[in-house]
Amino acid sequence: MKKILLALLVSTFFMNSFGTTFNITNVGTTFSPATITITQNDNITFTLASAHDAVEVSKATWDANGNTPIIGFQLPFGGGTVLGSSLSVGVHYFVCEPHAAFGMKGSITVQGTLAAPYIKTQNDMMIYPSPAKDHITVQLNTSTSTPVEIKLFNLQGRLVDVLFPKTNFSGLLLRTFSLNKVTGAGIYFVQITTGEDSAYKKIVIL
């Protein structure tokens, strides 16, 4: 029963765009953490004292400890939530308007997630199990001999492991790969490249 509930929770997690919510608070007139890195699907909740707000400003204003807002997020005193999907990829600078002159400021770096193009060649692909723990099995069918390469990336797009080095292959490929280089649970992407075409498959690793 517990396994069924876990599978349902993971499915719900997938359907909700894999977002994670991070929290920023204040310690006196300092944001904590002052700098944070998220992906576009992650959300940020500001939990602030009633004397503090959070507004987005330009880099020049931020450098000068100013408080002139730009078109961006503007949270009221006490805080609120910023949706990662509303922030463009890049660095967003924010300050507390009443205390910007005292250096109460922070930044949010938004990283893009991996794109997920379809493989253009006629391949049948399966990756299981998901959720996975110690290993995954990849099933791939290629109609003609072509270079095949399989890699594992984390959600930030960093290479975790080369599961299957580039090798010419044709027919049915059915291989089980160890996940011993995975350092933590979460969402990962398996990149399968055949010839010039690539596709990404999302998996959950426990």
Amino acid type, 135: H
Q: How confident is the model at residue 78 (pLDDT cuts 50, 70, 90)?
A: very high
- Residue 138 near residue 126 (C-beta atoms within 8 A): yes
Q: How many residues does the chain have?
A: 206
Question: Is the entire prediction scored with pTM above 0.85?
Answer: no
What is the residue-wise DSSP string for 88-132? -SEEEEEE-GGGGGGT-EEEEEEEPPPP-PPP-S--EEEEE-SSB
Closest CA to 52 of 72, 23, 25, 73: 25
* Share of residues in the chain with pLDDT > 90 (%): 46
The 10 Å Cβ neighbour count of residue 192 is: 22
**The predicted structure's pLDDT at residue 124:** 63
**The predicted structure's pLDDT at residue 113:** 62
- In tens, the pLDDT along 145-184 reads 889 999 998 877 788 999 999 999 888 889 999 999 998 8
- Residue 93 near residue 105 (C-beta atoms within 8 A): yes
- The segment(s) of the chain belonging to CATH 2.60.40.420 are 2-111
Please, is 160 exposed, middle or buried when counting C-beta atoms within 10 Å of its C-beta (0-12, 13-18, 19+)?
A: middle
Task: Please check whether the domain covering 2-111 is classified as CATH 2.60.40.420.
Answer: yes
- In tens, the pLDDT along 87-138 reads 888 899 999 999 999 999 999 988 776 544 434 433 467 888 888 989 999 9
* Share of residues in the chain with pLDDT > 70 (%): 85
pLDDT at 8 over 80: no
Task: Specify the CATH number for 124-205; select among 2.60.40.1930, 3.20.20.140, 3.40.50.970, 3.40.50.2020.
Answer: 2.60.40.1930
How far from chain centre, in Å, is Cα 3?
A: 25
**The predicted structure's pLDDT at residue 114:** 53
- The segment(s) of the chain belonging to CATH 2.60.40.1930 are 124-205
Q: In this structure, what are the phi and psi dihedrals at residue 85, rounded to the nearest 5 degrees? A: -65, -15
